[in-house]
Chain A
Amino acid sequence: MIKIVLACAFGMSTSMLVQRMQQEAVNRGLNADICALSETELKGKLANVNVLLLGPQIRFQLKSFKAEFEPMGIAVDVIEMTDYGRMNGAAVLDKALALSRAKEQEK
């Protein structure tokens, strides 16, 4: 089971992408818990989360979110612009899985 959180300014456009990723996960028979949050409500809501992905429009938060959440064992990165805009659920899910695998190997 993998837990993925997507974050943007209001959690609105990311929630569309979440739907596509969930669809993709179901198609692959993956057990994944994926949700969207607003960047201001992340604090305290990321227990047991494996991957945090930021919408490209808030990519300037990457450094501070990395500093805050990576010590909790969460992989943090920014979604590719075109994958984000074209709501490419498969590509973003692949990215999340790769990040989570890399983080596992670190441990």
Chain B
Amino acid sequence: MNIKNFFEDKFVPVAAKIAKQRHLLALRDGLVLSLPLLIVGSMFIIIGELPIQAYQDFMASVLGEGWGDFVWNDIFPATTGIIALLATFGITKSLVDSYDIDGLPAGAIAVAAFFLLNTLDAENNMWNADLFGAVNMFTGIIVALVVGEVYRRIVQKNLVIHMPDSVPPSISRSFTALVPAAIIIVGGFIIKILFRLTPFGDFSGFVTGVLSAPLKAVGTSYPGMLIILFFEQLLWFFGIHGSTIAWSFVDPIIQTATVENLAAFHAGTAIPNVVAQPFIDNFLQIGGSGATLPLVIFLLLFAKSRTLKDIGRLSAAPSIFNVNEPVVFGLPIVMNPFLVVPFILGPLVIMTITYVTMYFNIFPRLIGVNIPWTTPYFISGFLATGGRIGGVILQAINFCVAFLIWAPFLKSWDKRLVLEEEGALSER
């Protein structure tokens, strides 16, 4: 059995299973729900915090001192600041929907359970606003997965109150959710009481105190990044959309680390995490998975064969926005032994450079804003570091390194194509 068949028979089914795994899919869809809000929140933070003195002076002279405070006092708490709450709702709904059961009531119950498992400051009748943000992300995820599973089991076992068909659907829906809601709230309350007996005080305290730190340490570690990135590139090399599959395991962890960075940035303390969302979306993916923007530039400037020139022209525009399927499938990179080495090695080298230089604070760390993955390279580095030129310099270094890794392999591939094309011409 050759390697291609081995891959299609053994590896593809596993990838398919992961890609369709219900709980991972629910995690992804649930987070996607909060993404537009995270990005809008991030844009406001960049507007308020751009470290250009002339700009800050101008804004202050027009709008008054402290003009930027609204970003942190008004926009942040309503967007990024409620990520755990949004994730709880979104994950539960997606999970229950995946069983072909209406997930909307389940989402509402999960939000209630989330509040139940946190502790109200009863004396002042206040919830601590931090509870809704990144700090409680893992609590939200656990609550969502458990509530979703419990809810669908109750509905599937038909332990629900049925209304006659003449009752409008919206009313009968509220009755369907009644029994699951009662069971989940009572169950959640019992769990709450049990955790009150522990030194953690409540469930959310237990999760943040015991589970969050090790999960984050593994999920954002250098070896962790290396393994996931290798896996992603390998999948792409065989023509499978590796990005969503490989990162689905650590997406929530990385999103949590991202918002932690943002909190530290706001507080003016040292930024704790090297790996945040833009680390992956904007620093490693130069023009798409596999650092293919330098490749496209090479094709435009140096390619001699017709095929490569054509692909260069065709993929230039999408590559600016980090869409690289034309390169991956058109060149092709997929299952092309000439290009496998740079395609996998390049991203690993770039990741190492980025990780090490940020770890030792040679280049600025990411302030924790979310930048859409379609943002053009170089602009994204400027924005993700909160408007620091160091981010752009690091991206430029990565770009050059990727270019140098690609160049010799592309040259030999190009030479071969030229010969093939000449041969094809002389045969006619």
Measured between beta carbons, the chain B residues less than 8 angstroms from A9 are: 241, 243-244
Of B310-318, B346-354, B356-364, the segment with at least 4 beta carbons within 8 Å of chain A is B310-318
Known: A8-B241, A9-B241, A55-B325. A60 touches B331 (CB 8 A): no
Choice from B12, B29, B243, B326 contacting A86 with Cβ under 8 Å: B326
Distance of A84 from chain B, by nearest CB (Å): 5
Tell me the nearest residue of chain B to A40, going by C-beta: B29
A9–B327 CA distance with the chains assembled, in angstroms: 16
Distance of B127 from chain A, by nearest CB (Å): 33
Decide if B20 is an interface residue (CB 8 Å cutoff): yes
Distance of B163 from chain A, by nearest CB (Å): 25
Known: A16-B318, A40-B29, A64-B20. A58 touches B330 (CB 8 A): no
Choice from B29, B318, B334 contacting A13 with Cβ under 8 Å: B318
Known: A40-B29, A60-B16, A64-B20. A85 touches B241 (CB 8 A): no
Decide if B240 is an interface residue (CB 8 Å cutoff): yes
Contact residues on B (Cβ < 8 Å of other chain), bracket: 20 to 34
Choice from B13, B25, B241, B332 contacting A82 with Cβ under 8 Å: B332
Choice from A57, A60, A61, A63 contacting B325 with Cβ under 8 Å: A57
Decide if B67 is an interface residue (CB 8 Å cutoff): no
Q: A1-40: which residues lie under 8 A (CB-CB) from chain B?
A: 8-9, 12-13, 16, 40
Q: Are B314 and A84 in contact (CB under 8 A)?
A: no
A48–B153 CA distance with the chains assembled, in angstroms: 34
A55–B311 CA distance with the chains assembled, in angstroms: 18
Decide if B323 is an interface residue (CB 8 Å cutoff): yes
A55–B325 CA distance with the chains assembled, in angstroms: 9
Tell me the nearest residue of chain A to B236, going by C-beta: A57
Decide if A73 is an interface residue (CB 8 Å cutoff): no
Measured between beta carbons, the chain A residues less than 8 angstroms from B25 are: 40
Interface string of A54-86 (1 = CB under 8 A from B): 011111110110000000000000000110111
Tell me the nearest residue of chain A to B12, going by C-beta: A60
Decide if A87 is an interface residue (CB 8 Å cutoff): yes
Q: Are B329 and A16 in contact (CB under 8 A)?
A: no
Q: B284-308: which residues lie under 8 A (CB-CB) from chain A?
A: none
Interface string of B233-264 (1 = CB under 8 A from A): 00010011101100000000000000000000
Measured between beta carbons, the chain A residues less than 8 angstroms from B311 are: 85-86
Measured between beta carbons, the chain A residues less than 8 angstroms from B332 are: 81-82, 85
Which B residues are closer than 8 A to A by beta carbons? 12-13, 15-16, 19-20, 25, 29, 236, 239-241, 243-244, 310-311, 314, 318, 323, 325-332, 334, 374
